[in-house]
Structure 1
Amino acid sequence: MRVHTRHTPSFGVARISLAPGEAVQAVSDTMIASSFGVTEVQQSRRGGPSVFTAPADGGWVDLAPSRPGDVYTLELDGRTGWNVYKDAFLARPSTVRIDHPWQTLQSLFGADTGFLEHYSGTGSLVLGCAGPVDALKLDQGELITVRPGYLLAYPDSVQCRLRALDPSAPQSIRTGEGLALDFAGPGTILVQARKSPQ
């Protein structure tokens, strides 16, 4: 699977090129167009993801997020997993898996379903972003704070702490409202220049 993006950063589109018989899972209703012969199977009648499979001579699929913004390809190397804002997922090959439940996120959020999902494996994880993506590179021991609505992804190698901005104000584990994330390097934090809709 190869990914080429265009119309970024405002109205990103990802062209996913597939080898013969190769498949990619994507958010349903995000396909703009595909080469002839690519098949789509929806995994659930209730809006679950779709699987696009190339015919014997290969093919491509053009995907676009449901809202304006950038499209970003995160390359997973099989060694480090990534924690990704849950509404950012656009597409992934079968070699990239979503880990649910993930123990580190359970310790961060408790029993509730939080605003992050964990991905691991190898290959290209395609993300839809609310705005252009910035990579904030942290040195050893460097600390930063990020508001959850602007977070796109961070690797397992980075230390993370979730806290309330104001303990007396409303907070939501599901959306990140009223919360902040403190990160300690080394590592790279991916943030988006516009806040994700909640």
Structure 2
Amino acid sequence: MHVRTRHTPAFGVARVTLTSGEAVEASADTVLAHSFGVTRSKKGKSSGPAIFTAPAQGGWIDLAPRQPGDVYPLELSGQLGWSVASDAVLARPATVRHDHPWPAHQSLFGGDSGFLKHFSGVGSLVFASRGPVDALTLKAGEVVTVNPLFVLAFPDTVQVRLRALDPAEPQSVRTGEGLALDVAGPGTVLVQTRARP
């Protein structure tokens, strides 16, 4: 699978090129166009993502996020997993796993499902970002506080702590509203420059 982007950072489109029989998971309503012969199959639930598979000669699929913003391919090497904003994945190959449940998220969010999902494996994980993607590179021991509504992704090398901005105000681990995420390096935190609604 190879990913090339265009019209970034405001109205990004990702062209995912697939070899013979290769497949990618994506939401059907983000498909702008695809080469003839690419097939679509559902993944269990009728409302969930679909699997798009290339024919014998290979093919491509163009994906456009529902909201204006950037598309950002992150290459996973198999060495590190990444925590990703739950609504940020535009496409993923079968070689990248959604790790659920993920122990670090269970301790971060308690028994609730939070605003992050964990992915690991090898291949390009394509993000849909609200606004351009920015990177905060942290040295070992360096700590920053990030608004969870802007978090796009961060690797397993960082340590994170979730806390209330104001204990008297409402908070939600599902959206990140009313919370702050303290992140300690080393590692790079990817943020989107417009908050999730």
Q: TM-score, normalised to structure 1's length?
A: 0.98
Residue 120 of structure 1 corresponds to which residue in structure 2? 120
Deviations 1:6-25, CA, capped at 9 Å, x for gaps: 01011110000000111111
Deviations 1:68-112, CA, capped at 9 Å, x for gaps: 110011111101000000000110111000000000000000100
Aligned length, in residue pairs: 197
| Deviation for aligned residue 1:47 | 1.4
Percent identity among equivalent residues?
A: 65
For residues 32 and 45 of structure 2, the distance between their equivalents in structure 1, rounded to whole angstroms, comes to: 20
One-letter code aligned to 1:196 = R
For residues 79 and 104 of structure 2, the distance between their equivalents in structure 1, rounded to whole angstroms, comes to: 16
Q: Is the 8 A contact 1:93 1:125 kept in 2?
A: yes
For residues 51 and 85 of structure 1, the distance between their equivalents in structure 2, rounded to whole angstroms, comes to: 21
Residue 90 of structure 1 corresponds to which residue in structure 2? 90
| 1:5 partnered with 2:5 | yes
Q: Is the 8 A contact 1:130 1:196 kept in 2?
A: yes
One-letter code aligned to 1:64 = A
Q: Is the 8 A contact 1:84 1:116 kept in 2?
A: yes
| Deviation for aligned residue 1:28 | 2.5
Is the deviation greater in 39-48 or in 143-152?
39-48
- Segments of 5+ residues of structure 1 without an aligned counterpart are none
Q: Is the 8 A contact 1:113 1:174 kept in 2?
A: yes
For residues 85 and 171 of structure 1, the distance between their equivalents in structure 2, rounded to whole angstroms, comes to: 17
| Deviation for aligned residue 1:3 | 0.2
Q: How does 1:54-65 map to 2 (within 5 A)?
A: 54-65=54-65
* Matched position secondary structure for 2:73: strand
Deviations 1:101-160, CA, capped at 9 Å, x for gaps: 000000000100000000000000001000101111001111100001100000011010
Q: Runs of at least 4 residues of structure 1 off by over 4 A? A: none
For residues 36 and 46 of structure 1, the distance between their equivalents in structure 2, rounded to whole angstroms, comes to: 23
| Deviation for aligned residue 1:43 | 1.7
| 1:51 partnered with 2:51 | yes
